Structures are given as structure tokens and as C-alpha cells.
Chains A and B, each alone.
Chain A
Amino acid sequence: MSSEIVWMILGMGAVTYIPRMLPFVLFKGKELPPFLQGVLKNVPSATLGALIFPGVLFIQEDIWFGILGAAAAFLVAYLGANVIVVVLGAIAVLSVYSFIM
């Protein structure tokens, strides 16, 4: 192992770990003002929106690939399926799509 790469990895690990860990150590939870607590409660749903778009459109060069996959996942999820079924369903639909194309 080259020591330069190892130092790089350790540095990357440190700057990744610190933002993950600090809030858990700094805040006890439930002590922030109510408005901020409300905002933090909104964060998960908002994050999911931002994680899905626009990323899902660019998973392959063919933009329809992502649109079809997202639509399939949405439909399966809307019907009330478990998350794993949603994941496998979207993969199955896209396998068929790339087989046909």
C-alpha cells in the first residue's frame, strides 16, 4: 500500500465521519426551538425528493430508462408493496425493457 494513498483515505474518512457524528454528540435532541424541530421533521421527506430528482433521470444515457424505472417503482409502491418488492419490481421491469430494446 502506498502511504500517500493511505493518508488520503484516512483524511477522506475523517472528513466524512465528523459531519455524520457531530450532531449525535452535540445535540441531545428535543432541545431545539419548536420551529427548528418542525423543520428537522420535514427533512426526511424533502431529502428523499432531492435524492430521487434529478438523479434518477440520468442513471443511463437513455433518459426513458430512468423515467420508466421510477414510474414502475412508484406504481408498485402505490399499490402498497413492501420496499424490497418495489426494488425488485423496478429491476424486473427495466430488465425486460433493456432486453426488448
Chain B
Amino acid sequence: MAELAVNRSASEFRKGLQAGISIAIGYAPIALTFGLLAKTTGLSIGETVLMSLVVFAGASQYISLSLLSLGTGIFEIILTTFIVNIRHFLMSTALNEKSEEDHFVNKAIYSFGITDETFSVAAMKEGTVTTGYMFGLNLISYVSWVVCSGIGFLIGASLPQTLQESMSVALYAMFIGLLVPSMKRSIKVVYLAALAACFNTIFTLTNALSSGWAIVAATLLSAVMVEFIEGVKKKQRGEGHE
């Protein structure tokens, strides 16, 4: 029995690794550029790699570099990081609903690897998300992020300009690749995504909210509105049958 369980979690781990390949590809150019920028900002190789190892959150790492070069204080940088990354609370809450029951220590470990990208891949997966899958998915993404940050610093250059530009679409293409199959299956997904996209565009372009809060607000508004409308419709249909 024990052997069976080990085999199963090994194959789940492998599935996670495979699902993370697109993320690893998408992280490479961003992490290479981060390494390069960290060097020009005056960080050492140790500090650069340490930041990618400890923080593992792209947008906030970039922001910290630009704040450092502006001479911003450490406390403000940490506070900004918190605000930019607060959206992960919502993502973890949503993912927890579909993850398999497990000891909280395992969950506490793999939750370190929740990013926009790992969350999206795991949350759009059919069925339950197992611990082994999360470890595989997060590990390959994390390794790509950390290793490419270091390489970017060391070679002091990112990819060739045209390739760099083309690869900047990678993570967006991945998000689209995750979304479209569900859109084809369910019109509800189309409404959810379109509504959230509209809200986020409005919040961002009007500068009403910082980008961290804009994503949280747009997501919640869309998710609540669609759920509410669906509830009302169900009720009407229910009454119609009586």
C-alpha cells in the first residue's frame, strides 16, 4: 500500500513538473532581465539570488529595484511589496478549496510557490490538486526563476533584443492558453474573464487603484457579480418549474 501511495505521488509530482514547463519558459526572460537590472542597481550576485530565493515574486522584485535606485527606505519597499502581493491571499484561498486534504505543514511548504502563474495552472486543472502536483509545478517554476536570475546577473545581458521582445508575450500566452479551453466549455467563464478584464482595465487606466489592488478588486467584483446573477437565475428557473 505504502509503495502504491509513493508511486502515485511520484507520478503526480511528474505531472506537476510537466505542467510547469510553460511557466519555466515564461520566467526565463523575466528573471534574466531581473538579474541584469539588479546588477545595474548595484546589488551583489549573492543579494540578487537571495532575493529570488526568498521573495519569488516577479513584479515586486522589479519594483524594489526601481525604489532602491530612487533611494526609497527599506520599510516603504517592504510595505509596497506587501501591497503588490496581497492578491496571493485571494488566490491561495481559492486554490485551497480544490486542493487535496493534507497535513498543514505540506501546504505551508508548497504555498511558498504560489504565484500568478502557478496559481493559474493549478486552479484551471481538472479535478483535485494534489500535494505532489503542487510540489512539481512550483519547483520547476522556482528553479527557473532563481537560476535565470543568477545567469542574468553573471552574463550581464539578457536575451537578444528581438527574442527578448517576442518572449515577453510568453506568460500572457500561457494565461490565454489556460483560459480558452474553459471558455469553450462554459459561457460563465467567458463572462467571468471578460468582466474582470474590463474592471481591471478601468481601474488600471484611470489609476484608481495600484496594480496589486486592481487585480484583487476586479477579480472579486466579477466573481461576486456572476455568482449573484447565477443565483438569481437559478431561483427564477426553480420557481418557473413549480
| Chain A residues proximal to chain B, CB less than 8 Å | 1-2, 4-13, 15-17, 19-25, 27-30, 32, 35, 37-56, 59-60, 65-66, 69-70, 72-74, 76-78, 80-87, 89-92, 94-95, 97-99
Contact = CB atoms under 8 A, between A and B. Distances in A.
B10 interface: no
Interface string B137-171: 00000000000000000000000001101111110
A25 B174 CA distance: 29
Contact count band on B:
35 or more
Contacts, number: 288
B192 A51 contact: no
Given A19-B85, A20-B111, A59-B169, A48 B193 contact: yes
B222 A6 contact: no
Contact of A47 (B74, B85, B120, B167): B120
A51 B112 CA distance: 20
Q: Classify the secondary structure of B's interface with A.
A: helix
A46 B176 contact: no
A53 B201 contact: yes
Contacts of A82: 177
A59 to B, nearest CB: 4
B26 to A, nearest CB: 7
A82 B123 CA distance: 16
B33 interface: no
Given A13-B55, A94-B169, 9 more contacts: A5-B47, A8-B78, A40-B93, A42-B227, A47-B119, A50-B196, A59-B169, A70-B172, A87-B174
